[in-house]
Structure 1
Amino acid sequence: MGTIVGIIVEYNPLHNGHVHHYNRAKEITGAEHSIAILSGPFLQRGEPALLSKYARAEMALSMGVDLVIELPIHYAAQPAEWFAYGAISLLEATGIVDYLCFGTESGSLVQLLPLAKQLANENNKMKQELSRLLDQGISYPTAYSAAAGILSTNLEEKEDIRHLLLQPNHTLALHYLIALERLGSSIVPLTISRENAGYHDITPSESAIASATAVRKLILEENIEAAAPYVPPYTLDIMRREFSVGRGPIHWESFRQPLMHLLMTLTTSQLSQFHEVTEGLEYRIKKLLPTLSHVTVLELLHSLKTKRYTHTKLQRMLTHILLHHTKDEMSPTHLLEGPGYLRILGFNTHGQQLLKRMKKTASLPIVVKVSALNHDQLERDLQAATAYATAYNQPQTREIFRDYYEPPIRM
């Protein structure tokens, strides 16, 4: 069937920059087909997705992706290391992916490839330096970028590594490469440079490409039509349809009541059992709640944020509290086992052919019907999907339990 390129995406929502990346990925690899690993209802930076995973999978298929596979919640709402490990594990488990293509700020892997080879084998010296820096109250991204520099004895090279890893797409790219090394994968990694918009840019540039952050800001603060210049027509049509029936836009305040109920009624001891509730954050939460001028998730996040605790880390913590994810089930020991299945969200005619191939090559069960597999990770995915759907405006029972009723999208 020809070569296949894998991409790892969130599409929150799918915009013109994503279209550019997809087209370039197929161009530079010469791939005839594509497989996307898509985050479910909660994303890598810990926030709820603007639209359901089904709406975003439909956007991917509309763009031309052949097969969309869900990244389990165990890996989707995690720091870069585990997000990357989960996603790469799924691409490897298909047994048919030839290339991995992702965006970086530089568009080059020259510095990242040798660094990934060094870091793929647990480096005790680096881990000790990382712990030392974290103990000083330095945020994890800053500490990690500095600790990675310890692998070099050249001062200029140390600074280059530090600067490189302070850029979010380089950090994620490094962990993709580390995961490929650890899994002994034959998938060939390639990168392309991001065009026009930076990862965190909150305002659109004059071009037709804006960051997902900027697009979401336009949608939430103005309306869907304000985002029209920066998204393809099918994204706009899908958003109009979803929002018109109350399935979005979803944001943190959509979960304010259930989340605040948990934070206010659980004891500090109970809160401390949840993943990412570290170093006494349970006490900080309890202390801050009565002082908030407005009981909103955003104000809580703002009040909790310190130099040590990034906004992203805190968002992930709230996601794990909301979904009752414990430290034990999200421990490195369990995460190292990798995803337990390939959950299919959608496919087109070519994707159907890819699925037929995967039945012979896949090293994990292929899940089309959730009733066909009993797995702890899948149970957590189903719980996350139902929790997410309760945030819709007047959700119907079938919408809340869609994962149980409906087959993958066919386009």
Structure 2
Amino acid sequence: MRTVGLIVEYNPFHNGHLYHLQQSLKITESDAVVAVMSGHFLQRGEPALLDKWSRTRMALAGGCDLVIELPVAYATQAAEWFAFGAVSLLEATGVVDCFCFGTESGELEPLLAAAEAVARETPAFKTMLMQRLQTGISYPSAYSGAVADYLAVQGNRTAAEFPFAMPNHTLGLHYLLALRRIGGAMQPFTIAREKAQYNQETATDSKIASATSIRKLLLEQRSLEGARPYVPASTYQVLEEQWQAGYCPVSWEPFMSSLLHAVITRTPGELAALREISEGLEHRILRSLPKLSDISFEELLAELKTKRYTRTKLQRALLAILLGHAKADFTADKLSAGAEYIRVLGFSEKGKELLRRMRRSAKLPVLLSAARPPAMYRYLELDVKASGVYMLGVPAKTAAGSLFRDYTDKPVTLDCLE
């Protein structure tokens, strides 16, 4: 059974994701899909619109066969470590033959050339990166520019002219870099995104819209109807159930009191010890609080944002404060060791067969729940805590027991959708 891996957030699963899944099966000639999916907090430093079990239901109904969780330690990182965590987990299953990711261009060759050129990060490349950073631009922009500079110096001008700074090109490059660095055997593929780009805020097609624009419709209009044309019927069913129960949509705003408490009760030195807090950002955050006219996340971001500090960078920093993620727990040495387990969130009938194969081939323990003491695995402990924090932000009043659903919830199966 040839199997393709997908790296996803499904926030929420929409028609564009369905197209990507179906095309991935087609171009890789695969029979099954393994998705590694972020949990309750996402790569751009945001809480997920719905909890991870609801999004797993969407994924299975949409055609995924096995959904495994990308630990929060990687899911909330910038491109390099997000990609490393996801690719290394797919490789660790031992059953994924290839993986397929979306890009703006659908071109793989320039990304492969760049990954081969910069995988070792030579002194020359590091110098080019530092020179770019010294101009005051963000790290992603500096990295993309340095890649192009290095390829030009190496004589590969065709690849050097490739738009590496586009969000999916950036992620794609880091997926390929991660594959090289772990010595993975999976074959990479890419397909072009259709009709809606990664962070496009306004829907311009009758059926395809980005997850960003769908979330904007749901959060601003406070109505499900606006999203209906852009999601499969199965996704709409889950959205409707969760919406009526008061469990979605989740946004940053409900976490503001907890976030401000975490900021106010820490000293500048304690804030500086947290992940993503650097270059005096702790002082900027503290100075911004008296300027707020309202306890609003968007107003706080507006006070903090600069050319150097992008929205995504700031959201990740504020999320690190909310979750209490210390720099010492997220060093390059610790992250490069990878996850210590494979956490299963859900599976189909084909997924059962994949799980049987994984018990023989997986390079890591396969967990169907967090029932074991999470302290056995440092990243699982962080996931359990992150789930508890997330449940505090759901619109409905949260029962105490739901703070620890990681201990009690079994993997989602297709019969849960009937």
Shared fold, TM over 0.5: yes
Cα distance change of structure 1 residues 99 and 160 upon mapping to structure 2, 3 Å threshold? closer
**1: CA distance, partners of 2:401 / 2:161:** 49
Q: Residue type matched to 1:278 in 2?
A: S
**Number of residue pairs matched by the alignment:** 410
List per-residue Cα deviations over 1:325-345 (Å, max 9, x = no partner): 001111111101011110000
**1:23-38 alignment runs, 5 A limit:** 23-38=22-37
Give the aligned partner of residue 259 of structure 1.
259
**2: CA distance, partners of 1:217 / 1:157:** 41
Contact preservation (8 Å) 2:371, 2:408: no
Deviation at 1:133, TM superposition (A): 2.2
Deviation at 1:155, TM superposition (A): 10
Give the aligned partner of residue 107 of structure 1.
106
Give the aligned partner of residue 320 of structure 1.
320
Contact preservation (8 Å) 1:149, 1:159: no
Deviates more, 1:140-149 or 1:70-79: 140-149
Q: 1:400 aligns with which of 389, 398, 403?
A: 403
Point out 4+ residue stretches in structure 1 off by more than 6 angstroms: none
1:164 and 2:166 correspond: no
**1:49-198 alignment runs, 5 A limit:** 49-153=48-152, 161=160, 164-198=163-197
TM-score normalised over the length of structure 2: 0.95
Q: Residue type matched to 2:413 in 1?
A: R
Deviates more, 1:376-385 or 1:264-273: 264-273
**2: CA distance, partners of 1:88 / 1:6:** 9
Contact preservation (8 Å) 1:145, 1:161: no
Give the aligned partner of residue 383 of structure 2.
381
Q: Residue type matched to 1:324 in 2?
A: G
List per-residue Cα deviations over 1:60-115 (Å, max 9, x = no partner): 00011110000001100000000000000000000111110110011111111011
- Please give the secondary structure, in 1, of the residue aligned with 2:33: strand
Give the aligned partner of residue 354 of structure 2.
354
**1: CA distance, partners of 2:328 / 2:110:** 35
Deviates more, 1:40-49 or 1:119-128: 119-128
- Please give the secondary structure, in 1, of the residue aligned with 2:101: strand
**1: CA distance, partners of 2:19 / 2:152:** 38
Give the aligned partner of residue 214 of structure 1.
213
Deviates more, 1:121-130 or 1:26-35: 121-130
Identity %: 47
Give the aligned partner of residue 239 of structure 1.
239
Contact preservation (8 Å) 2:195, 2:205: no
**2: CA distance, partners of 1:156 / 1:308:** 31
Give the aligned partner of residue 297 of structure 2.
297
Contact preservation (8 Å) 1:146, 1:162: no
- Please give the secondary structure, in 1, of the residue aligned with 2:69: strand
Deviation at 1:160, TM superposition (A): 5.9
List per-residue Cα deviations over 1:306-348 (Å, max 9, x = no partner): 1111110110111111110001111111101011110000011
- Please give the secondary structure, in 2, of the residue aligned with 1:57: helix
Give the aligned partner of residue 409 of structure 1.
412
Q: Residue type matched to 1:174 in 2?
A: L
List per-residue Cα deviations over 1:149-202 (Å, max 9, x = no partner): 232336996696465111000000000001111111110000100000111211
Deviation at 1:206, TM superposition (A): 2.7
List per-residue Cα deviations over 1:276-331 (Å, max 9, x = no partner): 00000000011111012222111111211111111101101111111100011111
Deviation at 1:245, TM superposition (A): 1.3
**2: CA distance, partners of 1:141 / 1:290:** 31
- Please give the secondary structure, in 2, of the residue aligned with 1:372: coil
Q: Residue type matched to 1:323 in 2?
A: L
- Please give the secondary structure, in 1, of the residue aligned with 2:206: coil
**2: CA distance, partners of 1:330 / 1:162:** 34
1:48 and 2:47 correspond: yes
Deviation at 1:350, TM superposition (A): 1.0
- Please give the secondary structure, in 1, of the residue aligned with 2:99: strand
Q: Residue type matched to 1:308 in 2?
A: R
TM-score normalised over the length of structure 1: 0.97
Contact preservation (8 Å) 1:49, 1:250: yes
- Please give the secondary structure, in 2, of the residue aligned with 1:166: coil
Structure 1, unmatched stretches of 5+, are: none
Cα distance change of structure 1 residues 128 and 363 upon mapping to structure 2, 3 Å threshold? same
Deviation at 1:398, TM superposition (A): 2.8
Cα distance change of structure 1 residues 186 and 156 upon mapping to structure 2, 3 Å threshold? closer
- Please give the secondary structure, in 2, of the residue aligned with 1:102: strand
Cα distance change of structure 1 residues 190 and 268 upon mapping to structure 2, 3 Å threshold? same
List per-residue Cα deviations over 1:120-172 (Å, max 9, x = no partner): 22322222222232233111121111111232336996696465111000000
Deviates more, 1:185-194 or 1:370-379: 370-379
- Please give the secondary structure, in 2, of the residue aligned with 1:47: coil
**2: CA distance, partners of 1:332 / 1:115:** 22
**1: CA distance, partners of 2:155 / 2:210:** 31
Contact preservation (8 Å) 1:145, 1:163: no
